[in-house]
Structure formats: C-alpha cells, structure tokens
Amino acid sequence: MAFSEFRRLDERSVIEYVKGVPALASKLQLAEAEAEADADADHNITVKEIGDGNLNFVFIVVNSASKASIIIKQALPYIRCIGESWPLTKDRAYFEATALEEQGRLAPNHVPQVYHFDLTMSLIAMRYLEPPHIILRKGLIAGIQYPLLAPHMAHFMANTLFFTSLLFRSTLDHKREVAKFCGNAAMCRHTQQVVFSDPFQVSQYNHWSSPYLDPDAEALLQDNLLKLEVAHLKSIFSERAQALIHGDLHTSSVMVTPQSTQIIDPEFAFYGPMGFDIGAFLGNLILAFFAQDGLLDQSNDRKAYKEWILQTIEDTWNLFYEKFIALWDEHRNGAGEAYLPAIYNDPEVLLLAQRRYMSDLFHDSLGFGAAKMIRRIVGVAHVEDFESITDAAKRATCERKALNLAKMLLKDRRKFEGIAEIVSAIRQF
Amino acid sequence: MAFSEFRRLDERSVIEYVKGVPALASKLQLAEAEAEADADADHNITVKEIGDGNLNFVFIVVNSASKASIIIKQALPYIRCIGESWPLTKDRAYFEATALEEQGRLAPNHVPQVYHFDLTMSLIAMRYLEPPHIILRKGLIAGIQYPLLAPHMAHFMANTLFFTSLLFRSTLDHKREVAKFCGNAAMCRHTQQVVFSDPFQVSQYNHWSSPYLDPDAEALLQDNLLKLEVAHLKSIFSERAQALIHGDLHTSSVMVTPQSTQIIDPEFAFYGPMGFDIGAFLGNLILAFFAQDGLLDQSNDRKAYKEWILQTIEDTWNLFYEKFIALWDEHRNGAGEAYLPAIYNDPEVLLLAQRRYMSDLFHDSLGFGAAKMIRRIVGVAHVEDFESITDAAKRATCERKALNLAKMLLKDRRKFEGIAEIVSAIRQF
C-alpha cells in the first residue's frame, strides 16, 4: 500500500514503505511473511541512511537473507545541508526520475536502473551501486586512478547530449521535451543563484578559507570583466535549450570502480547548454588537481596522480569530441533538423560546421567549468577535495591557484583552441 | 451558439457564426431580430474576405446600419498561398490570440484588441483597423512617409521584448511562459524551413527572377561560409528563449496611418531571440529601400523617399536602443533575475553590461534580418516591394543589390558597431 500523502521517511518507515510496494518487495526478494505490512519479520531487513550530498535523504535497504538491496532516495522540500530555511521544491524528484530514465536509455551502462518512482512521496527506488563503488570525488582524494573514467564519461556525455539535441531530434520532439523540463525551473533558479550570483555578491551563505582568501573573495565583487562574462554565461544557461543536461555533473555525481562509472543525481536536469555538463566535470577534475598539493604526504608526493588527472582531463574532452562527431556523422541523414543533409552533407562544409560547433562548445565548457570552480571556493557548497586539507593556510594556497586559473579561463576562454592548451595553463598555475 | 467542430467559414457562414456568439453580435450592435440565428434580417450585415497574406482567411464583417465592424480571422490546417499540399497546424490561432493579448497588454496602442477566441474554430475576432489603415508594405511601395513609424515600432519592440525577458521576469515566470509557447513548435519548424533551409538547398517552392538571378541563387548553394553563419543563427532561433517574439515582424505584419501603427498576425509567436523580430523589421525596410529604384517614374525619382527609409532604419534601432535601456534602468531593482542589483547596479558595470547586451542584440538582428532578406528573394514567399516591379530585368537588378548586401551582413555582421554604419553600407550597394 503506497502512502497517500507526502511524509518524510526515516530508517523505520522506509521498511514499512518498501513492504507496501510490491515491485520493491519483489526486488528485495522478501518472503511473503516479511512482505505483510504488519509482520514482525523485519529482522532480515536492514536500513542505513547514507545521504552525504547537500540535498536529499538516501537509504540503503538490504535483505540480509537474500543479499538483495535497493536504494531509496527521497527529496524533501528544502536543502538538507542548510535546513528548512532554504526551501527547494521536492518536485525535483520527478525530474530526476525522468532524467535517470532518459539517460539510462541513452547510456545504459552508466546510469543506475530506476525500479520505482513515487510522485506523492518525491521518492525514487533504484539500483544500489554496491561496493567497491565509491563517489569519484573520494577516489580522487584518495589518489586512486580510474583508467576507464575518461572513456566512460565521454561516452555518457556524448550520448546523452547528442541524442537530446537538434542534431538528432526533430523540432517538434525537441520543443515537447523542452516544455516538459521547463517545470524544473526552481532547480535552474537555484543554480543561477549559487553558481552565477552568490560568488559575485555579498551573501549570507558564502564562505571561504578566511582570512587567507579574504582579499580574493573581495576581489570577485569588484571584477567588472568577470561579472560581464558571468552574465553572458548565465544568459546561455537560462535561455539556451541545447540538450537535456544533467545539470550538476561534478565528481560527487559520479560513482566509480576501476571497471564501472555510474552517473547519479540528475535532479537539476533540464534543457540547457551542453557546456554546463562538460564544464562541471572538467572543472571539478581541475579542483581535484589543485587539491593534490594539500593532500600529499611523505609516502606519496602525488606527482604521478596529478599527471593522471591532467591526462584524464585531456582524454575526457578528446574522447568526447571524437564520440560526439562520430554520432553526428552516423546520424547526419536522420531526423535531426539542425543541419539538413542537402545543405551540410558536403564534406567540406560539414567539417567546417562541426569544427565551429565543437569550438563554441569547448569555449562554453571552459566558461561554465570556471564558474563552477569559483563557486566551490567562495560560495555556499565547497568540495571535499579542498575541505579535507586540514591545514587552512595550505588549503587556501591550493584554492587560490584554482581560483586564479578559473578567473583567467572565464575571461580568456575564447583564446584557447584545444584541451592541451588548458592542461598547459593548469601546469603554469 | 458556437460551432461544435471545426469548419472552414465562407462569407455566408461567417454571418451565421457572428450571430451565434453574443459578444460578437453585441460588438456589431446587431438588433435582436438580426441576432436570431434563423432570422432573414441579414441585409444590414456585409462580409468581405480580404486575406491577402500567405496563410489565413480574413473577413471584415460590417453592420451597415450601426457602422460597427469586426475582423474574423480563421486559420486553416494548411498554407493558404500553397494549398493543402503544405499542411500547417491550425493551432497557430491559439498562439496568435495569446500573443495578441500579451502584446496588447504591453503595447496597447499598437495591437488590435481581441474580442473573442474560438479554439475549436481556430478563429480570432478582433478590431477592424479601419481606413485609412493600410498594410505598411503597400505604403512603402506607394512612397508614403510615416513620421511616427520608427518611434512606434521602437516602442512596440522594446516593450514586448523587454517585459517578456529575464531582464524583467523571474526565472519561474519565464520558464512557465516558455513552456506554453513550445506548443507552437510547428510554426517554428516552418520558419526554420523557409528562412534557414530552403534558400540554401534545392527546394520545389524556391523561385527567383529567372534567368537574371540564376547564378545568384546557384551561388547560395555553394557558399560554405554563408551556410556556417546560417546554421549558427538557426541554432539561436531554435534554442534560445530570450523573449516572447512576434516571429514574423515584416512590413506586412504592420498596419499604418500617419498617426497609427498596429502590429498584427503574431501566429509565429514563441520564446525566441529578440533579434529575429528586430531583424525582420529592419531587413524588410532594407528590401523596401532597394525596391525603390524599380518603382520610380518620371513624376517621382524616389530619392527623398529612399532617404526617409534610411532615416527610419536608423531611427528605429536608435529609438529601440534608448527605450530598451530606459526600461532596463527603470526596472533594474525589479523581479528580473538576469542582472541582480547587488552585482550589476554599480554604474560602471551596468553600463558595460548594457553595451555588451545591446551589441550582441545588434549583431543578432543584422544576421536574422539578412537571412530574412535572402529568403524573400530566392525562397517560397516573395515581397510585393519587388514583385510590383514589372520589368523583370530591373527587378532582378534591385534584388541582386539587396541579396549581396544581405550576404555581406550575414558574414560580416560582427564588424559593424552601429546602425549608422549599416546605413552607409546600404548606400554603397
């Protein structure tokens, strides 16, 4: 029996909930006696709340008898890490479930399967990404290399972005999907605030490694050129429905093992600029790079690991580029209405068109990536990469390098022609 | 009694229709006997079909006793000037009515009042723009000056574009409206085809002043740089929800007297790039300019009129610029979420932000205007400005100048910094 109205679940009521939903009881392989709502036979079911993100509550439910497990994720009508003082629509769960299903269809090896969605409860039941899956950010802090990360992320981004764009879709299909995700406006508004606004104004939630970065944070409020570029990027974010984007594709939205890469938490999904996803991922890798100098110790100078991060940045973009262009070539006679075959299938003009498209996308990605880096250093939500550096002075030194690189990228991004130049620039900071 | 299902009206059934809708019978001041559905007393009601546009049927209904009059506009499920072989959704009437009401609210002196909308019948009843109102394009062909045209158009465009953008609206309001107008996708698709595609590919509906412009039309199919710019503009048109645009703001969508300027026919309305409207209007004025050399005769060398057109082009942009910035300044502390006061109200950064915004908008407008000029010379729907030049060789000479200017503007638009430079360029062709 499903719950008839929203209520916040806890570790006890989660059990009651899963027992009431036949699809979930079945997924957990509960015996009939256990699945009865009033049964006492709960002793095989263990529940653990594991949400360590900023927004939601997440429960692992395990049947210790059968070893079957599921994740129950519930959105509350406010931001978990702030509390009820910062409301945020729980409708986001609907868009997360919808995006998980769409992205799962387009990149099935990289998205956890959704078992059940409950609109009333703002609740998604999905596959538990079992150990050794960990949050990528934690792997980056631990210095673990993931040789398949770049190809997997390139595949996920190329597929989800290409197939939801006008390169593949007809105008009618595209506008219908755009309209649907316009409903996630409250989440877009949240991003506008935390990424494009708060770092550049006095805001109660802003914080930084004080006093070390006080002048750096103050400088952001006075940097007119930076504000102009941020306004431009914000307008692209707010107005340009280029593809269905994840909307929050940082390194804590990715779970990994050496063999597996899974992209989770698309509750910010909407039709926006592709570069916002690509930039989020690359920008967070750059943050991880700059954190390494604060994480090294006598046993590990992190030099090799920093090289691996740089290589992963380069490979991710280059493989994404290759894969995206391959999809474009493969589907150039399809239903997509952006580049009609009769006009653009001449090899010379197609090559020029693709180069221009990818060049614009590259510059968008750099801009959005840089904006996301800045907000993680002076805004409301920081990253564990830096936060785990306990020596505040050392942390601030790492952060300042990342901040200065980001400011430069935001202002000068159009001067860069390829990812190798970005890697060189990172080395120079 | 309203009709219960769609049927195409003719001059006889229009009478039956208006008698069945109390609001319209009342607007026409029909006496009670006349308003009865089966009355024979129709002798005071005259109906005339006057639709000379490409798409719809338009009836004037006049009560010769009271002198009261209304317009009945009905959308059919195909394009009138082509026939049933080119289907086009009659749902466009809903979006036209919705846009007329929104634009009427924002620029009440420049939009005819809507009296009645009938979704089933795809029908709008609205104010009859009585003589001496004529279609602006006909006035331009006749060489009539309209001293208030530039300020009126600047006012209409500034108000409708500013107040429906994120400069004035909150993100939540904006996304809700964007979603609503996504439903007009079929009309966007039509524009994509006739403006951004057909002129650059072999299409059965394309035609031009043959044989004179054969090489010019052929050259468009081979011009890779042009195709790249067109693809870029098409992506902005298809993806960027900047404001509620009219979507078809050429000089036949404007009715004028020396004192009055009325903007009609927004059935292509949707949330798109502002520059598409501004460009449509300016581009069609430029077409009118180049047509003048084919329209002159011994009694009138049209020199003074050409100067007036150029002045109107310049004034329209400059007055639009002024008015738009004035609205921005006036509402900079309002609900608009694009440029938050705390970040952008510093006078120096506000000035920089406004200059950049208007510069981008100027370049968009030039690009879209140029694309609209090209399609009127080699595409499916030509303009009466050129069509009324009976000497085909002379017409082709005029058209070629316009075409060459448009190609140059499309490719080099970012090199122009102000409208005076555009006027100079027009003079040079």
* Distance in angstroms (rounded) separating the CA atoms of residues A65 and B125: 71
Q: Examine the domain organization and report whether B120 and B141 are in the same domain.
A: no
Residue bearing the bigger pLDDT, B409 or A3:
B409
Q: Examine the domain organization and report whether B114 and B145 are in the same domain.
A: no
The pLDDT of residue B43 is 72
Which residue in the set B172, B202, B353 is minimally distant from A185, CB to CB? B172
The pLDDT of residue A33 is 58
Cβ neighbour number for residue B274 with a 10 Å cutoff: 27
Q: Examine the domain organization and report whether A222 and A82 are in the same domain.
A: no
Residue that terminates a domain, selected from A108, A126, A144: A126
CB-based contact, A206 to chain B, within 8 Å: no
The pLDDT of residue B80 is 85
CB-based contact, B238 to chain A, within 8 Å: yes
* Distance in angstroms (rounded) separating the CA atoms of residues A97 and A122: 10
Lookup result for tokens 């602006």: B136
* Distance in angstroms (rounded) separating the CA atoms of residues A149 and A262: 10
Helix H or strand E segment including A6: none
Q: Which residues of A touch B356 (CB under 8 A)?
A: 228, 231-232
The pLDDT of residue A41 is 57
Q: Is A166 a domain residue?
A: yes
Q: Examine the domain organization and report whether B234 and B184 are in the same domain.
A: yes
- Say yes or no to pLDDT of B20 above 90: yes
* Distance in angstroms (rounded) separating the CA atoms of residues A141 and A136: 9
Q: pLDDT per residue over A42-85, tens digit each?
A: 678 999 999 877 789 999 999 999 899 999 999 999 888 888 88
- CATH number of the domain that residue B413 is part of: 3.90.1200.10
Q: Examine the domain organization and report whether B103 and B232 are in the same domain.
A: no
Q: Which residues of B touch A228 (CB under 8 A)?
A: 349, 352-353, 356
CB contact under 8 Å between B182 and A182, yes or no, is: yes
The token duo for B102 is: 């929104």
The vertex-A155 CA angle with A153 and A161, nearest 5°, equals 95
Q: Is A276 a domain residue?
A: yes
Residue that terminates a domain, selected from B126, B156, B190: B126
Q: Nearest C-alpha of chain A: how many angstroms from B124?
A: 25
* Distance in angstroms (rounded) separating the CA atoms of residues A282 and A310: 10
Q: Examine the domain organization and report whether B291 and B407 are in the same domain.
A: yes
Q: Is B363 a domain residue?
A: yes
The pLDDT of residue B4 is 85
Q: Which of B18-22, B51-55, B315-319 has the highest mean pLDDT?
A: B315-319
- Say yes or no to pLDDT of B32 above 70: no
Nearest CA in chain B to A242: B239
CB-based contact, A300 to chain B, within 8 Å: no
| Beta-strand relationship, B261-263 and B254-256 | antiparallel
Q: Examine the domain organization and report whether B93 and B210 are in the same domain.
A: no
The pLDDT of residue A54 is 76
Q: Examine the domain organization and report whether B153 and B107 are in the same domain.
A: no
* Distance in angstroms (rounded) separating the CA atoms of residues A235 and A133: 37
Q: pLDDT per residue over B387-401, tens digit each?
A: 999 999 999 999 999
Model confidence at A36, pLDDT cuts 50, 70, 90, reads low
Q: Examine the domain organization and report whether B280 and B141 are in the same domain.
A: yes
Q: Is A282 a domain residue?
A: yes
The pLDDT of residue B115 is 98
Number of domains comprising chain B? 2
The pLDDT of residue A7 is 93
CB contact under 8 Å between A337 and B192, yes or no, is: yes
Give the residue-averaged pLDDT of A215-231: 98
Q: Is B104 a domain residue?
A: yes
The per-residue pLDDT of chain A, averaged, comes to 95
Q: Examine the domain organization and report whether A347 and A228 are in the same domain.
A: yes
CB-based contact, A345 to chain B, within 8 Å: no
The pLDDT of residue B36 is 61
Q: Examine the domain organization and report whether A409 and A276 are in the same domain.
A: yes
The pLDDT of residue B83 is 85
Residue that terminates a domain, selected from B74, B106, B126: B126
Q: Nearest C-alpha of chain B: how many angstroms from A354?
A: 10
The vertex-B211 CA angle with B209 and B212, nearest 5°, equals 65
Beta-bridge partner residues of A57 = A74
The per-residue pLDDT of chain B, averaged, comes to 95
* Distance in angstroms (rounded) separating the CA atoms of residues A163 and A235: 23
- CATH number of the domain that residue A22 is part of: 3.30.200.20
Model confidence at A257, pLDDT cuts 50, 70, 90, reads very high
Q: Which residues of A touch B229 (CB under 8 A)?
A: none
The pLDDT of residue A341 is 97
The pLDDT of residue A83 is 85
Q: Which residues of B touch A185 (CB under 8 A)?
A: 171-172, 174-176
The lowest-confidence range among A40-49, A136-145, A271-280, B42-51 is A40-49
Q: Is B313 a domain residue?
A: yes
Q: Which residues of B touch A189 (CB under 8 A)?
A: 170-172, 337
The token duo for B117 is: 């909308």
CB contact under 8 Å between A228 and B353, yes or no, is: yes
CB-based contact, A37 to chain B, within 8 Å: no
Domain that holds residue B106: 11-126
- Indicate left, alpha or beta for A102 from its phi (over 0: left) and psi (-120 to 50: alpha): alpha
Q: pLDDT per residue over A408-417, tens digit each?
A: 999 999 999 9
Q: Is B4 a domain residue?
A: no
Return residues 42-61 of B near A (CB < 8 Å). Answer: none
- Say yes or no to pLDDT of B2 above 70: no
Give the residue-averaged pLDDT of B251-278: 98
Which is nearest to A130 in space by CA: A27, A265, A257? Answer: A257
Residues near A10 by Cβ (< 8 Å), separated by ≥ 6? A49
* Distance in angstroms (rounded) separating the CA atoms of residues B353 and B335: 18
CA torsion sign for A117, A121, A125, A131 is positive
Nearest CA in chain A to B230: A339
Q: Nearest C-alpha of chain A: how many angstroms from B336?
A: 12
- Say yes or no to pLDDT of B39 above 60: no
Q: pLDDT per residue over A78-107, tens digit each?
A: 888 888 888 889 999 999 999 999 999 999
Give the residue-averaged pLDDT of A188-205: 97
- Indicate left, alpha or beta for A409 from its phi (over 0: left) and psi (-120 to 50: alpha): alpha
Q: Examine the domain organization and report whether B76 and B145 are in the same domain.
A: no
Q: Is B149 a domain residue?
A: yes
Q: pLDDT per residue over B183-221, tens digit each?
A: 999 999 999 999 999 999 999 999 999 999 999 999 999
The pLDDT of residue A15 is 95
